[in-house]
């Protein structure tokens, strides 16, 4: 009876210790990536190659999702604003929601599930098929050759994708607000321009996405590198990448928002 | 299980803790464990320059760990691993990379880089460790591919290769920098008999041509005995027998006999040593009443 | 895939990113390159600016003529000093009046300028003397309530 009461508590304790332990390991891994980044930044074509896989191949999903999110914002924003007689402020509403929150967060979530999971699966499979071992036996550090280029490619791609997501969202809001509902095009843009501040809204949003990019790619490459080298292990690692990334993005978003705005 | 490690081991030349030795690879009282699980116990062996040695044993006997000790991927808890006159277990990361640069390793399933073409795979160690111009890298890669008989495949991706072909490409990659030491980890696993014969022949030819010292971990007895100079048998983390291929074939040791001729019954039993009897497990014995 | 094609695609990708950032800065945040010689400064002091923000528009007859460049509290007379940046193609007379208006019932607040009749124009850095404060909704309702209550009690017409 006492045992049944204690066992969830014990599990919680284990879970907390495990989480702290993982945080320590992942921080050391991060330092290892930074220490081994010199080579990948000197041989920048390695990073460019990975940017193709993490950035270019994520373009479609970012463009389409951004457009739809903007359209939904336009529709929902209009029905709410029109009750207060401020439908003219739609442009400002769409732009501010996207720039400050939705753009960086949604782009990062999409990036985690599109590029992050692929990164984990790729590195995990390289480990399972002894490719990482082969590399280190060939006196090539896999962190420098495999992990660091992917990390930097992700960090560089993320703000680009977030900016594109914002633009597509604003265009989507325009399509619904102006072309469909028939608001004035001039007031859509002028309300936006009057309320959006370059530094506070645009730049801070992009800084957010830079942090998200670092967090997501760090989690993705770590989970891949740390995966149990079996089919089940790699698939579990891929799942963990998406779940952990999503949680970290949302938690980090709160912290960054509290600091920035 | 006969414990033959004492009587079969000729290396009792306990010189001082000096590193001068005429062997290329030397293990001195090496023990290794993953956590609590003991993998290797008190291993002593010595491999002279230019020799082709096979390490044989059943699955899970710790023979792959021997290779990982030589390449410095793992370090022993006890004892010394000396390669080319230097202690592997005492090397810094930089020295270890230096050590690995003079070493080639063929992995169990080739371990080709799946995101690189055949050409880029073979060129990989050359590009990473030398600053040769592209034209020279190109020529070197084609020479290595020709050496394994696969010139013309350079534009293929690893996914487009058969098992035997990718093993040979991996061999070409392993010898790309003309290593002084070649390690083979189960090079014959999962190959059809023709590919297997081709790989065995190729390994022999290349190691003769390059004059490398080679260590091969395998459980394929027949092909190995045809190409190696010396054999160590490992079981339960200990060296249980050793000798030249002819000695091994003629060995009177029941263990070696069982292994070489693949007999189901002998000193090695099929069943896992369970602590309870089957009847007890099934609840039929009634002994606990 | 050949390396040059990858390079090309990544180049396009980065170009899209730069174009997006440019769009966000110029079209969305309206980072119009305002050089100093194209606008001049004026200031006005208000009792209460309500919810006026920096960068709020300055309008004359409904036409955008400038923006609020900064807002501070005057330490001597405790009035709000609002600095305006006015497009240099517009000149205003010395008896121009400034008031803080609201676009719509709940819309943004802006500064409205009404041109006076003085032939002399305000110099750059000049002060707009005639100001009227923002309408603060709570105060308005409060005033209305008291006057309504007093009016009900004393039947005294106190409307301004």
- What value of ipTM does the predicted structure carry? 0.83
Lookup: tokens for A47: 């990073």
Residue C145 lies in a domain: no
- Rounded distance between C-alpha atoms, residue A137 and residue C50, angstroms: 70
Residue B37 lies in a domain: no
Rg over CA atoms, chain B: 21
The answer to whether C68 and C39 are in contact (CB under 8 A) is: no
Cβ atoms within 10 A of the Cβ of A98, count? 31
Per-residue confidence band for A211, with pLDDT thresholds at 50, 70 and 90: very high
A92 phi, psi to nearest 5 deg: -65, -40
B71 touches A: beta carbon within 8 Å: yes
Q: Does residue C4 sit in the same domain as residue C19?
A: yes
The answer to whether B181 and B150 are in contact (CB under 8 A) is: no
Compare B26 and A99 and report the one with higher pLDDT.
Answer: A99
Residue C156 lies in a domain: no
Compare B288 and A228 and report the one with higher pLDDT.
Answer: A228
pLDDT in tens, C4-24: 888 899 999 999 999 999 888
**In angstroms, what CA-CA distances link C45 with B48, C53, C91, C120?**
96, 15, 19, 20
The answer to whether C99 and C132 are in contact (CB under 8 A) is: yes
Q: Does residue C13 sit in the same domain as residue C41?
A: no
Q: Give the total number of structural domains in chain A.
A: 1
- Report the pLDDT value the prediction gives residue C27, as an integer from 0 to 100: 82
Q: Does residue C8 sit in the same domain as residue C67?
A: no
Residue B107 to residue A130, Cβ atoms within 8 A:
yes
Q: Does residue C49 sit in the same domain as residue C24?
A: no
Residue A71 lies in a domain: yes
- Rounded distance between C-alpha atoms, residue A179 and residue B10, angstroms: 90
- Report the pLDDT value the prediction gives residue B272, as an integer from 0 to 100: 67
A150 touches B: beta carbon within 8 Å: no
pTM of the prediction?
0.76
Residues of chain A neighbouring C59 (CB-CB closer than 8 A): none
The answer to whether C112 and C99 are in contact (CB under 8 A) is: yes
- Report the pLDDT value the prediction gives residue C90, as an integer from 0 to 100: 86
Q: Which domain holds residue C12?
A: 1-33
Does residue A14 register a pLDDT over 60?
yes
Residue A111 lies in a domain: yes
Residue B122 lies in a domain: yes
The residues facing B22 across adjacent strands are none
pLDDT in tens, B187-218: 888 788 888 888 888 888 888 888 888 888 88
The answer to whether B226 and B200 are in contact (CB under 8 A) is: yes
* C110/chain A closest Cα distance in angstroms: 11
**In angstroms, what CA-CA distances link B175 with A250, B82, B128, B227, B230?**
49, 22, 14, 18, 22
Of A125, A131, A133, the CB nearest to B73: A133
pLDDT in tens, C87-97: 888 888 888 88
Does residue A76 register a pLDDT over 80?
yes
- Rounded distance between C-alpha atoms, residue C69 and residue C82, angstroms: 8
Residue C121 DSSP one-character state: B
Range with the poorest average pLDDT among A165-169, B260-264, B272-276, C35-39: C35-39
- Rounded distance between C-alpha atoms, residue B259 and residue B276, angstroms: 28
Q: Give the total number of structural domains in chain C.
A: 2
Residues of chain A neighbouring C7 (CB-CB closer than 8 A): 45, 48
Mean pLDDT to the nearest integer, A75-99:
89
* B282/chain A closest Cα distance in angstroms: 30
Of B73, B108, B170, the CB nearest to A136: B73
Residues of chain C neighbouring A99 (CB-CB closer than 8 A): 24, 28
Of C27, C56, C106, the CB nearest to A84: C106
User: What does the mean pLDDT of chain C come to?
Assistant: 81
Does residue A126 register a pLDDT over 70?
yes
Residue showing tokens 């936006």:
A192
- Tell me the residue ranges of DSSP E strands in chain A: none
Non-local CB neighbours of B209 within 8 Å, separated by 6+ positions = none
Range with the poorest average pLDDT among A206-220, C114-128, C138-152: C138-152
Non-local CB neighbours of A24 within 8 Å, separated by 6+ positions = none
Q: Does residue C12 sit in the same domain as residue C54?
A: no
Largest CA distance in chain B: 82
- Report the pLDDT value the prediction gives residue B20, as an integer from 0 to 100: 53
Q: Which residue of B has its CA nearest to A127?
A: B111
Residue B31 DSSP one-character state: E
Residue C92 lies in a domain: yes
* B105/chain A closest Cα distance in angstroms: 7
Q: Which residue of A has its CA nearest to C109?
A: A194
Cβ pairs bridging A and B (under 8 Å):
50
Residues of chain C neighbouring A202 (CB-CB closer than 8 A): 21, 24-25, 28-29
Mean pLDDT to the nearest integer, A79-99:
89
Residue C57 to residue A163, Cβ atoms within 8 A:
no
Residue B36 lies in a domain: no
Q: Give the total number of structural domains in chain B.
A: 1
Touch criterion met for B and C (3+ Cβ pairs within 8 Å): no
**In angstroms, what CA-CA distances link A94 with A91, C104, C110?**
5, 20, 21
Residue showing tokens 């299980």:
B1
Closest C-alpha among A80, A88, A241 to residue A150:
A241
Q: Which domain holds residue A90?
A: 12-260
Residue C119 lies in a domain: yes
Residues of chain A neighbouring B98 (CB-CB closer than 8 A): 139
Residue A5 lies in a domain: no
Q: Does residue C52 sit in the same domain as residue C80?
A: yes
- Report the pLDDT value the prediction gives residue B17, as an integer from 0 to 100: 34
Residues of chain C neighbouring A73 (CB-CB closer than 8 A): none
Residues of chain A neighbouring C4 (CB-CB closer than 8 A): none
**In angstroms, what CA-CA distances link C83 with C62, C93, C94?**
19, 17, 16
Mean pLDDT to the nearest integer, A63-72:
96
Which residues of chain B have a pLDDT value below 50? 1-18, 289
Residue B209 lies in a domain: yes
- Report the pLDDT value the prediction gives residue C104, as an integer from 0 to 100: 67
Q: Which domain holds residue B116?
A: 50-72+92-264
- Rounded distance between C-alpha atoms, residue B90 and residue C9, angstroms: 47
Q: Does residue C51 sit in the same domain as residue C111?
A: yes
Does residue C34 register a pLDDT over 60?
no
The answer to whether A157 and A57 are in contact (CB under 8 A) is: no
Q: Which residue of A has its CA nearest to B173?
A: A138
Q: Does residue C41 sit in the same domain as residue C4?
A: no
* A134/chain B closest Cα distance in angstroms: 6
Residue A6 lies in a domain: no
- Rounded distance between C-alpha atoms, residue B164 and residue B199, angstroms: 8
pLDDT in tens, A179-196: 998 888 888 888 888 788
A102 touches C: beta carbon within 8 Å: no
Lookup: tokens for B143: 């020479």
Q: Is B150 left (phi over 0), alpha (psi -120 to 50) or beta?
A: alpha
The answer to whether B148 and B169 are in contact (CB under 8 A) is: yes
Work out the angle at residue A22's Cα, subtended by the Cα atoms of residues A19 and A28, and round it to the nearest 5 degrees.
Answer: 145
Mean pLDDT to the nearest integer, A150-171:
94
pLDDT in tens, C51-82: 787 778 888 888 888 888 888 888 888 888 99
- Rounded distance between C-alpha atoms, residue B18 and residue A157, angstroms: 54
User: What does the mean pLDDT of chain A come to?
Assistant: 91
The residues facing C39 across adjacent strands are C87
User: What CATH number is attached to the domain comprising B163?
Assistant: 3.40.50.300
Residue B256 lies in a domain: yes
The answer to whether B46 and B11 are in contact (CB under 8 A) is: yes
A230 touches B: beta carbon within 8 Å: no
Q: Does residue C41 sit in the same domain as residue C111?
A: yes
The answer to whether C97 and C114 are in contact (CB under 8 A) is: yes
């Amino acid at each position: 009876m006492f045992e049944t009461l204690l066992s969830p508590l014990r599990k919680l304790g284990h879970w907390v210790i495990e989480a702290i332990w993982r945080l320590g390991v992942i921080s050391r891994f991060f330092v290892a990536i930074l220490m081994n980044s010199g080579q990948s930044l000197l041989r920048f074509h390695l990073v460019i190659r990975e940017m193709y896989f993490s950035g270019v191949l994520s373009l479609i999903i970012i463009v389409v999702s951004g457009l739809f999110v903007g359209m939904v914002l336009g529709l929902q924003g209009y029905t709410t604003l029109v009750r207060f007689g401020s439908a003219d402020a739609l442009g400002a509403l769409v732009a501010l929601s996207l720039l400050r929150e939705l753009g960086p967060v949604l782009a990062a979530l999409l990036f985690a599930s599109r590029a992050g999971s692929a990164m984990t699966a790729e590195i995990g499979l390289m480990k399972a098929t002894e490719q990482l071992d082969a590399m280190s036996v060939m006196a090539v550090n896999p962190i420098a050759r495999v992990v660091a280029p992917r990390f930097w490619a992700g960090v560089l791609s993320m703000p680009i994708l977030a900016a594109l997501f914002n633009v597509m969202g604003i265009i989507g809001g325009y399509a619904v607000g102006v072309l469909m509902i028939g608001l004035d095009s001039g007031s859509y843009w002028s309300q936006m321009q009057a309320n959006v501040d370059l530094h506070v809204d645009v730049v801070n949003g992009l800084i957010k996405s830079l942090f998200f990019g670092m967090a997501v790619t760090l989690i993705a490459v770590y989970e891949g590198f740390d995966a149990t080298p079996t089919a089940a292990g790699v698939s579990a690692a891929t799942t963990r990448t998406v779940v952990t990334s999503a949680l970290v993005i949302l938690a980090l978003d709160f912290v960054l928002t509290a600091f920035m705005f | 299980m006969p414990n033959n490690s004492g009587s079969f081991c000729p290396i009792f030349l306990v010189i001082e803790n000096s590193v001068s030795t005429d062997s290329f690879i030397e293990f001195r009282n090496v023990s290794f464990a993953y956590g609590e699980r003991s993998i290797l116990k008190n291993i002593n062996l010595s491999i002279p320059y230019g020799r082709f040695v096979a390490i044989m044993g059943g699955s899970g006997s710790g023979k792959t760990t021997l290779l990982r000790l030589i390449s410095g991927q793992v370090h022993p808890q006890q004892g010394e691993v000396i390669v080319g006159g230097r202690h592997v277990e005492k090397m810094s990361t930089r020295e270890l990379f230096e050590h690995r640069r003079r070493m080639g390793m063929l992995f169990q399933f080739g371990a080709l880089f799946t995101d690189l073409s055949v050409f880029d795979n073979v060129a990989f160690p050359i590009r990473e460790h030398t600053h040769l111009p592209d034209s020279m890298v190109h020529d070197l890669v084609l020479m290595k591919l020709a050496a394994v008989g696969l010139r013309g495949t350079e534009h293929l991706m690893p996914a487009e290769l058969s098992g035997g072909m990718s093993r040979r490409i991996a061999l070409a990659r392993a010898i790309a920098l003309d290593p002084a030491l070649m390690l083979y980890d189960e090079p014959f696993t999962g190959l059809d008999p023709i590919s297997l014969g081709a790989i065995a022949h190729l390994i022999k030819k290349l190691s003769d041509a390059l004059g490398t010292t080679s260590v091969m971990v395998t459980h394929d007895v027949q092909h190995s005995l045809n190409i190696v100079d010396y054999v160590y048998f490992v079981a339960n983390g200990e060296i249980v027998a050793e000798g030249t291929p002819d000695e091994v074939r003629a060995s009177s040791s029941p263990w070696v006999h069982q292994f070489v001729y693949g007999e189901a019954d002998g000193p090695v039993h099929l069943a896992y040593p369970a602590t309870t009897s089957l009847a007890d497990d099934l609840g039929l014995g009634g002994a606990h009443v | 895939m050949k390396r040059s094609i990858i390079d090309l695609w990544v180049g396009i990708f980065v170009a899209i990113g730069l174009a997006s950032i440019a769009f966000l800065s110029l079209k969305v945040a309206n980072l119009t390159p305002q050089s100093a010689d194209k606008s001049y400064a004026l200031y006005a002091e208000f009792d209460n600016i309500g919810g006026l923000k920096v960068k709020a528009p300055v309008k004359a007859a409904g036409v955008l003529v400038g923006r609020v460049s900064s807002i501070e509290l005057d330490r001597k007379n405790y009035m709000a000093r609002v600095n305006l940046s006015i497009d240099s193609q517009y000149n205003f007379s010395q008896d121009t009046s400034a008031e803080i208006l609201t676009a719509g019932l709940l819309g943004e607040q802006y500064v409205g300028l009404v041109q006076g009749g003085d032939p002399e124009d305000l110099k750059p850095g000049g002060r707009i003397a005639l100001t009227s404060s923002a309408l603060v909704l709570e105060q308005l309702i409060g005033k209305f309530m008291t006057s309504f209550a007093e009016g009900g009690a004393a039947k005294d017409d106190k409307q301004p």
